[in-house]
A and B are shown apart, each in its own frame.
Chain A
Amino acid sequence: MVAICLQAYTGLESFNHGVPVMQKLKTTIVEPASRIEKGIVVGWAVLVFVVIMVAAGLARFIVADISAQEPDNAVIARTQPSPDVAAGTIAVSDLWIRATPPGARTAAAYLYIRNSGDNDRLLAVRSERARSVEIHTTQEQSGMMRMSRLDSLAVPANSDLQLGPGGYHLMLVEISESFDPGDSVLMTLMFEKAGAMDVNFAVRDAR
């Protein structure tokens, strides 16, 4: 391999500089005419070399580009439960509260709202088991998951609204005691048009 490389080096020298330094060694075996021909062939070899290098560089770039691509966020499929509590045109179902870890001071409640009438709004929620109940949304914002408190939650005419983990939820602030699986928690939902609804939320161990 070393010998072959040396010969290649000799060839390159004669091609690049015209005045070969190491050529002296070979004057007895290489004729002047074939020396030009040799230069052309070596030139081709150099071209092939350059092409391979460029291709490798490009391949590397493409590979890096592909690995940098990010897959799209998967869409979380949600089942649509059937309504079981209704007040006028508003029906709510699948009401549940996430069982709380020991020492928790907050809890989250979820439900499914179906509005078969005109535009309505959820204005407020109350429960005896929390100092306050806030209407929240969790949104990805500036690379962070942030909960924001909403003054009210619009429930447009003839539409369904899912409150669920990682999205809209009711946040129970400063809960008086832990929520254990099997508990039933009474809460009052205040709608702008449908009025007040007393509903029971089931505490569920979501682990």
Chain B
Amino acid sequence: MSSLSRMLMITAFAAVAGIGAVTARQLLMVNSPVAPEINGFVLQQPRLLPAFELLNGQAETFTGADFAGAWSFLYFGFTYCPDICPTAMVEMAKLKTLLSASHPDLLAEFYLVSVDPERDTPQRVQEYVTYFDDNFKGLTGDLEDISNLAQTASVIHVIEPSADGVSYEVGHSSTITLLDPQGSIRAIFREPLRAATLADDVSQVLSYAELMKE
């Protein structure tokens, strides 16, 4: 075999292997960087919110556009709830403190979205959330809009029947939904919701989101 044809063969081999390696790298790049492991779920593709219209604590219209500009933490619950919701709100307040120390430049807003709008008026939600933190925000409104938003956040909720129709219970997923400054869902944190774990997990999700931009 002539040295020329040998050279040709080696070049051909190198070329094919090279193309293979480049394509393989690109295939791997699709899922790279790898989503962090958290107590909950990291969405590899940001999930857009549906159109909705709610009321904030001042009874003003609040839409998805109002989430823009800051990272938003959403807890779906209700103010009549004596146990699990206050516990979650306390942890969310602690999380806010931890994040303001670890990420001083991070713009973050914290919301309670009521899944019990019949009892939770804007005023009621507002006085409830600000008990846990002065800057917490409450959202309420039509049950249909709330359900649309909840469904996208993978939150299920149900109003349990009661004898008197007043002291009814509301079952709901106890999670914290994280929205990016574009108002899309990036992660869902689940029980047990503990501030220290949440702070670590949020930190990882933020780094991951930063890498995904590149």
Per-residue B-contact encoding for A51-66, CB less than 8 Å = 1, 0 else: 0110111011001101
**Once bound together, how far apart are the Cα atoms of A103 and B24, in whole Å?**
60
Measured CB to CB, the closest approach of chain A to B207, in angstroms, equals 15
Quick check: A4 and B37 within 8 Å, CB to CB?
no
Instruction: Assess A76 versus B192: contact at CB under 8 Å? Given A41-B13, A45-B13.
Output: yes
Q: Which of B53-61, B76-84, B101-109 contacts A (4 or more CB under 8 A)?
A: B76-84
In the assembled complex, B48 has its CB within 8 A of some CB on chain A = no
Contacts of A154 in B (CB 8 A): none
Separation of A107 and B167 alpha carbons in the complex (Å): 13
Q: B86 on the interface (CB 8 Å rule)? A: yes
Q: A42-B9, A60-B27, A74-B197 are in contact. Are A144 and B39 (CB under 8 A)?
A: no
Q: Is there a chain A Cβ closer than 8 Å to B52's Cβ?
A: no
B172 lies within 8 A of A34 (CB)? no
B212 CB to nearest A CB, Å: 13
Q: Spell out A's residues near B (CB within 8 Å).
A: 4-5, 7-8, 10-12, 29-31, 33-34, 37-38, 41-42, 44-46, 48-49, 52-53, 55-57, 59-60, 63-64, 66-67, 69-71, 73-74, 76, 98, 101-108, 136, 138, 140-149, 165-166, 169, 171-174, 206-207
Contact in complex: B12, A38 (CB < 8 Å): yes
| A–B pairs, 11, beta carbons within 8 Å | A4-B11, A8-B15, A11-B9, A44-B13, A52-B17, A55-B24, A71-B37, A138-B84, A141-B171, A144-B173, A166-B192
B156 CB-CB contact with A under 8 Å: yes
Distance of A166 Cα from B84 Cα, bound (Å)? 5
CB within 8 Å of A: which B1-51 residues: 1-2, 4-5, 8-9, 11-21, 23-25, 27-28, 30-32, 34-35, 37-42, 44
0/1 string, B100-134, CB within 8 A of A gives 1: 00000000000000000000000010011001100
CB distance from A95 to the nearest CB of B (A): 16
